[in-house]
Amino acid sequence: MWSSSQASTRGVIEVGRVEAGPSHFPKRPAPRNSSRVNLSRTYAIKSCSVSSRTGLCLGQCYHKKSSACKCKLGWSSQPLSSLRHHLRVHSSASEAVLTSQSDFTKLLVGNEKIGVLLLNLGGPETLDDVQPFLFNLFADPDIIRLPRLFRFLQKPLAQFISVVRAPKSKEGYASIGGGSPLRQITDAQAEALRKALCDKDIPAKVYVGMRYWHPFTEEAIEQIKRDGITKLVVLPLYPQFSISTSGSSLRLLEGIFREDEYLVNMQHTVIPSWYQREGYIKAMATLIEKELRTFSEPQKVMIFFSAHGVPLAYVEEAGDPYKAEMEECVDLIMEELEKRGITNSCTLAYQSRVGPVEWLRPYTDETIIELGQKGVKSLLAVPISFVSEHIETLEEIDVEYKELALESGIKHWGRVPALGCEPTFITDLADAVIESLPYVGAMAVSNLEARQPLVPLGSVEELLAAYDSKRDELPPPVTVWEWGWTKSAETWNGRAAMLAVLALLVLEVTTGEGFLHQWGILPLFH
């Protein structure tokens, strides 16, 4: 999707911007920030584009099938050597041939201070943290999306829902040891990634920025500034992109970047999703293969991928690529297993729905019951949307779904562990970071159509631009108000009812009179 502007000097052709994402995304607008336009200038030498800043091959060469690349090398299974080769091809044109790995890494790193920012959700560390954590989550307009007119109600609504939900959530967290293990696991992943990068001659600091609990993204950014980082790779720890997860974190970052003098000038790039990376797919396949061996008849086990759900409207009305990426991810893992001679049947379903709206189907609980009815006897659950153990693996899958499966006639149950610090996976993340370095501060390739092992890249601004052609906000899940019993109307009726309940509650709390006092329910909230 590149276009040439045809302005040629000394055989150097300026290569234009990425014009558009895949068909379901709106056309990308021209960037507003003129300094970004300069950063994004790339130059083609002998028909491959080479970054004017780094001298590295950009764009077309990354595309395996690109006709524009005359190197005829494509992209090998060893990205580093491939990059080095491209570098040699291009740098010979600019009379600076690199010969060794250290030359290569020197060119990548130079005098820069490299940082990697891992973005994650965060989780309550104690039971007292649960309600404020839930408040932060529900106060996020990417989690509960109100029409602009009702935005002022976001916080009161978050307060209400978090208070009502807290007892149920606390029960869950109490059953897994009194808090979420997310912080500990993410810190361990950050340290493992730092070591893996160091082993590959890339000295980098790795930071953790959580969206809804400590260490908050804002805290990580402050540390990044104190450390004087000059090049930043932003890596959400969600393999697949969703507006509600990586999108929300990136939107937050975009706001922080826009406001901050230091950050506006710091070069950065984003790896928005990485589910199609070979290392990740292989690591997942290996975990599944290993767990299958624990069954007495492995070939009869159904592989049951269970992904965290999102409201259907995110996908159908806001263009969230989450479902498509999830399905492709499952296909890639199954292809990898097939290559290893494993041809078990598989299913994908969505878990953890919250609230009154419709979520992505099929639902995990309903699917388990159906499979039991169909006579499936062995099920291997594979959590697929997240790379750490968390409440929804440790409690929802291991306890609730297991119990449901056994009640539904399934005799043998297993569960694949989350990737955590699995070495193939961490090495692959390190490779993803290294492959992204030439793009830091430079215009990124259109990644959304790309296939593995391409690392999808783009600045925060560009990434969000892919979802928001007006650059105001991500599109709401329901874009028009429709009267009657349409899906949209039902959604809004539900929300209007929630707002009415909220108004009644506020009235009741302020006047001390109302139906909750009459029914003796209100003391629950004190």
Are 342 and 289 in contact by the 8 Å Cβ rule? The answer is yes
Residue 183 or 268: the one with the smaller Cβ distance to ligand L6N33NVT is 183
Asked if 363 touches ligand L6N33NVT (CB under 6 A), the answer is no
Q: What end-to-end distance do the CA atoms of the chain give, in Å? A: 58
Amino acid (one-letter) located at 399: V
Q: What is the chain's Cα-based Rg?
A: 25
Residue 177 or 341: the one with the smaller Cβ distance to ligand L6N33NVT is 177
Asked if 242 touches ligand L6N33NVT (CB under 6 A), the answer is yes
Chosen residue from 49, 51, 60, 180 binding ligand L6N33NVT by CB under 6 A: 180
Residue 121 or 445: the one with the smaller Cβ distance to ligand L6N33NVT is 121
Tokens encoding 401:
């779904």
Are 461 and 28 in contact by the 8 Å Cβ rule? The answer is no
Task: Encode 312-343: b = buried (16+ Cβ within 10 Å), e = exposed.
Answer: bbbbebbbbbbbebbebbbebbbebbeeeebe
Smallest gap from residue 234 Cβ to ligand L6N33NVT (A):
17
Amino acid (one-letter) located at 463: L
Smallest gap from residue 348 Cβ to ligand L6N33NVT (A):
14
Q: How many CB atoms lie within 10 A of CB 68?
A: 15
Asked if 436 touches ligand L6N33NVT (CB under 6 A), the answer is no
Residue 142 or 435: the one with the smaller Cβ distance to ligand L6N33NVT is 142
d(CA 228, CA 211): 23
Q: How many CB atoms lie within 10 A of CB 41?
A: 16
Contacts of 293 (CB under 8 A, 6+ apart): none
* 446 to 485: interface string for ligand L6N33NVT, x by CB under 6 A: ----------------------------------------
Name the nearest CA neighbour of 61 among 91, 37, 20.
91
Tokens encoding 279:
């290392």
Q: How many CB atoms lie within 10 A of CB 66?
A: 16
The count of residues interacting with ligand L6N33NVT (CB under 6 A) is 22
Asked if 143 touches ligand L6N33NVT (CB under 6 A), the answer is yes
* 199 to 238: interface string for ligand L6N33NVT, x by CB under 6 A: ---------------------------------------x
Chosen residue from 244, 249, 269, 347 binding ligand L6N33NVT by CB under 6 A: 244
What SS3 state is found at 224? helix
Name the nearest CA neighbour of 450 among 65, 16, 192, 39.
65
* 370 to 389: interface string for ligand L6N33NVT, x by CB under 6 A: ---------------xx---
d(CA 290, CA 294): 7
Chosen residue from 58, 61, 107, 137 binding ligand L6N33NVT by CB under 6 A: 137
Residue 224 or 312: the one with the smaller Cβ distance to ligand L6N33NVT is 312
Smallest gap from residue 436 Cβ to ligand L6N33NVT (A):
21
Residue 21 or 247: the one with the smaller Cβ distance to ligand L6N33NVT is 247
Asked if 491 touches ligand L6N33NVT (CB under 6 A), the answer is no
Amino acid (one-letter) located at 169: S
Residue 244 or 367: the one with the smaller Cβ distance to ligand L6N33NVT is 244
Smallest gap from residue 261 Cβ to ligand L6N33NVT (A):
33
DSSP 407-467: HTT--EEEEPPP-TT-HHHHHHHHHHHHHHGGGTTSPPP--TT--TTPPP-B-HHHHHHTT
Asked if 31 touches ligand L6N33NVT (CB under 6 A), the answer is no
Read off the DSSP letter of residue 66: -
Asked if 121 touches ligand L6N33NVT (CB under 6 A), the answer is yes
Tokens encoding 100:
């060794």
Smallest gap from residue 256 Cβ to ligand L6N33NVT (A):
21
Residue 49 or 180: the one with the smaller Cβ distance to ligand L6N33NVT is 180
Residue 292 or 310: the one with the smaller Cβ distance to ligand L6N33NVT is 310
Q: What is the dihedral of CA 439, 97, 41, 472, to 10 degrees?
A: 0
Residue 105 or 186: the one with the smaller Cβ distance to ligand L6N33NVT is 186
Select the residue whose beta carbon is closest to ligand L6N33NVT and give its number: 123
Chosen residue from 271, 310, 419, 429 binding ligand L6N33NVT by CB under 6 A: 310
Smallest gap from residue 246 Cβ to ligand L6N33NVT (A):
8
Strands (E), 176-315: 204-210, 231-236, 267-270, 302-308
Are 247 and 211 in contact by the 8 Å Cβ rule? The answer is no
In the complex, which residues of this chain contact ligand L6N33NVT (CB under 6 A)?
121, 123, 134, 137, 143, 165, 169, 180, 182, 238, 242, 244-245, 308, 310-311, 354, 385-386, 390-392
